[in-house]
């Protein structure tokens, strides 16, 4: 049985939307709302959903760039939910993040060698000569030529900058890397190279990825399991082939129907949704998808839906999934 690296229990992350004249919060934006799942060591969990569904909020909260509003976070057997800055210091080395925009992640005043070496300086790994050597070796490992190590971010291409960001994230050998749309800003050919690099890193260093993306083809290529989010909630989760080949939740079916097929003769039914995404400030009382779901009934609108096992660990939050 796979070893559990990270347990997330009833995680909530709310943002203040409005306060009254007394300074009391009267409304909140529900970025993540009662999310629970487990991350297994060495796996890639792909997180997919449309913009505003809470994917990035989830990733940032898991590594505590943002403090959770409620819930419990147990990382590598240690409850880190209420850890402060000083307590999180030894945990930081075990969890890193790769952001969507590599240029925004890089300090324009640092050479790429200094940028990659910085985590070694922070955690005091080795002496200065060792750190320089390790940073050079890591840059070479991710495909950056030795002649580039003293260049600055503006002198690199988008793919090279993302390789540098990846090098910085993995140089301290973390257990978990949260990847927030790391290839969405790259050309298709460069995207494939970076994805292959990430698979190589995971295979050789046994890292765990939480991979966030809009692109289901990328999720299919890289992930072992898939989690589908909608308006701050997990609506479906399971093994990659189960979720993509046999989707159960109506929202998952909508996402998959929107993928273009490179065949002009292929016949495919496209599911067109009506209505807009509800406001995360005032989401529906029942199923979050009920306002756009063609199969919704009164019970869906009034009763919150929880994840239920449909078999083989395939979880779905829909009371009518067996009918639709």
Q: What is the pTM of this model?
A: 0.91
Do residues 314 and 239 lie in contact, with contact meaning Cβ atoms separated by under 8 Å? yes
Helix extents (H) in the chain:
55-62, 85-92, 102-105, 112-122, 128-141, 158-170, 188-205, 216-222, 240-245, 250-257, 298-302
Do residues 83 and 61 lie in contact, with contact meaning Cβ atoms separated by under 8 Å? no
pLDDT band (50, 70, 90) for residue 293: confident
Amino acid 219: pLDDT: 92
Calpha distance 309→211 (Å, rounded): 23
Checking if the pLDDT of 280 tops 90, the result is: no
Instruction: List the single range of 243-252, 257-266, 313-322 with lowest mean pLDDT.
Output: 257-266
Q: Provide the mean pLDDT of the chain.
A: 90
Amino acid 267: pLDDT: 66
The secondary structure of 85-151 as a DSSP string is: HHHHHHHHTTEEEE-S-HHHHS-TTS-HHHHHHHHHHHTT-S-HHHHHHHHHHHHHHTT--GGGTT-
Amino acid 228: pLDDT: 96
Find which of 164-178, 254-268, 288-302 is predicted with most confidence, using mean pLDDT.
164-178
pLDDT band (50, 70, 90) for residue 282: confident
Amino acid 268: pLDDT: 65
H-run or E-run covering 26 = strand 25-40
Amino acid 266: pLDDT: 64
Amino acid 263: pLDDT: 65
pLDDT tens-digit map of 38-74: 999 999 999 999 888 899 999 999 999 999 999 999 9
Average pLDDT over residues 91-119: 91
The percentage of the chain sitting over the pLDDT mark of 70, rounded to a whole number, equals 96
Q: Is the pLDDT higher at 273 or at 243?
A: 243
pLDDT band (50, 70, 90) for residue 324: low
Q: Which residues pair with 32 in a beta bridge?
A: 13
Amino acid 296: pLDDT: 84
Calpha distance 59→180 (Å, rounded): 7
- Whole-angstrom CA distances from 46 to 43, 106, 226, 290 are 10, 25, 5, 24
Do residues 169 and 118 lie in contact, with contact meaning Cβ atoms separated by under 8 Å? no
pLDDT tens-digit map of 9-29: 999 999 988 888 787 887 888
The DSSP call for residue 211 is: E
- Whole-angstrom CA distances from 174 to 55, 91, 108, 169, 193 are 21, 9, 25, 8, 22
Among residues 96, 187, 109, which one has the least CA distance to residue 153? 109
H-run or E-run covering 233 = strand 233-239
CB atoms within 10 A of CB 324: 12
Question: In this structure, what are the phi and psi dihedrals at residue 62, rounded to the nearest 5 degrees?
Answer: -65, -35
Amino acid 66: pLDDT: 93
pLDDT tens-digit map of 186-239: 888 888 888 999 999 999 999 999 999 988 889 999 999 999 999 999 999 999
Do residues 197 and 174 lie in contact, with contact meaning Cβ atoms separated by under 8 Å? no
H-run or E-run covering 48 = strand 44-48
Distance of CA 227 to the CA centre of its chain: 10
Average pLDDT over residues 115-124: 93
Kindly list the structural domains of the chain, giving each domain's residue range(s) and its CATH number in brackets, ordered by start: 4-94+174-316 (3.40.50.300)
Q: Dihedral, CA atoms, 103, 108, 112, 117, nearest 10 degrees?
A: -110
């Amino acid at each position: 049985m796979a070893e559990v690296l990270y347990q997330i229990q009833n995680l909530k992350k709310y943002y203040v939307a409005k306060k009254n004249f007394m300074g009391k919060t009267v409304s909140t934006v529900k970025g993540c709302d009662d999310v629970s799942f487990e991350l297994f060591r060495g796996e890639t969990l792909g997180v997919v959903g449309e913009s505003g569904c809470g994917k990035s909020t989830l990733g940032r909260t898991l590594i505590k760039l943002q403090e959770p509003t409620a819930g419990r976070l147990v990382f590598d057997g240690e409850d880190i939910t209420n850890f402060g800055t000083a307590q999180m210091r030894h945990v930081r080395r075990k969890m890193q993040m790769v952001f969507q925009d590599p240029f925004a992640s890089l300090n324009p005043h640092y050479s790429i060698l200094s940028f990659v070496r910085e985590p070694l300086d922070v955690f005091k790994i080795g002496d200065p000569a060792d750190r320089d050597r390790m940073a050079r070796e890591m840059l070479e490992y991710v495909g950056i030529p030795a002649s580039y190590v003293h260049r600055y971010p503006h002198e690199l291409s988008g793919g090279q900058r993302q390789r540098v960001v990846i090098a910085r994230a993995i140089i301290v050998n973390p257990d978990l890397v949260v990847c927030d749309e790391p290839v969405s800003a790259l050309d298709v050919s460069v995207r494939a190279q970076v994805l292959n690099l990430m698979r190589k890193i995971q295979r050789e260093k046994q890292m765990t990825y939480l991979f966030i993306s809009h692109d289901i083809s990328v999720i299919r290529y890289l992930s072992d399991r898939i989690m589908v989010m909608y308006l701050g909630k997990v609506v479906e989760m399971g093994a990659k082939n189960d979720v993509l080949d046999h989707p159960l939740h109506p929202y998952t079916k909508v996402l998959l129907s929107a993928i273009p097929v490179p065949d002009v003769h292929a016949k495919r039914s496209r599911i067109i949704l009506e209505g807009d995404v509800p406001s995360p400030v005032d989401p529906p009382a029942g199923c979050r998808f009920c306002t756009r779901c063609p199969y919704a009934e009164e019970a869906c609108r009034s009763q919150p839906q929880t994840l239920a096992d449909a078999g083989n660990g395939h979880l779905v939050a829909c009371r009518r999934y067996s009918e639709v």
